[in-house]
Amino acid sequence: MDLGDCYRLLGLRSGASFTDIKTSYRRLAQQYHPDINPGDKKAKDKFIALTEAYRFLLTVVPPEETNPQTKRSPTVGGASSPTYSSQREETKTTTSAKTTTATVTTEKPSTTQPPNIAEIEQRLKWKTYEQLQRFLRERRFPQAIALAEALAARLPKDAEVRQWQAIAYQIWGRALINENQLLKARVYLKKALKTDPHNKTLWEEVQRDFQKLEQIF
């Protein structure tokens, strides 16, 4: 089951959020749960497929960041709230009449870091790349294209992802030439150039493919 299939099973578009995935799964799981549909094999199989898709998506889709904790106003004196474990700076001031010392305690902002979203995105990116390579080797071109487009939609500024998407278009275009689907081949070769227009190597490869098309026509 690939990434696109998982989204479709849950009735979602590629790139849906972590919250949307959980909400959709809960709704569909309740609908197809074996306890709700006793003896219904189709409902049971659907429930199993939904659960597998949900578990897979949870491994590649990062949860949303929670709102950072609201800052507390500084506290004066030695006591502070037990629910905060922030560092404190102490400064001593001496009065002009006496040598007594007062302590001013100031809380620093919380240094808790949000989840490392970039790292999660990179894991998703390379896991999807491996799956894309497998689809291309197996000549499962429609699935490869759908996967590349879903990843590009999630990481639109990633140059490597655009390059993979363009190469997938070009490989399928070349395969379509060999299958004598010439008009469709031309469409995907043009998509390859449009997706990654500054890739000189890709441009040369696609030009050779266009020359082959012209010879056949």
The reported pLDDT for the residue numbered 63 is 73
Tell me how far apart the alpha carbons of residues 114 and 67 are, in angstroms, rounded to a whole number.
Answer: 9
The reported pLDDT for the residue numbered 64 is 61
Other Cβ atoms closer than 10 A to 140:
14
> Residues 6 or more apart from 143 whose CB is under 8 A from it?
2, 4, 135
- As a residue count, the chain comes to 217
> Each residue's pLDDT tens digit in the chain (217 positions)?
567 788 888 888 877 888 888 899 888 988 888 888 888 888 888 888 888 888 888 887 777 643 444 344 343 344 443 343 444 444 444 444 444 444 444 445 444 454 466 777 788 888 888 888 888 999 998 888 888 888 888 888 888 899 999 999 999 999 999 899 989 999 999 999 999 998 888 898 899 899 888 888 6
Nearest C-alpha neighbor of 102 from the set 94, 111, 110: 94
Tell me how far apart the alpha carbons of residues 12 and 21 are, in angstroms, rounded to a whole number.
Answer: 8
> Residues 6 or more apart from 149 whose CB is under 8 A from it?
14, 165
Give the CA diameter of the chain.
102
State pTM to two decimals. Answer: 0.49
The reported pLDDT for the residue numbered 70 is 38
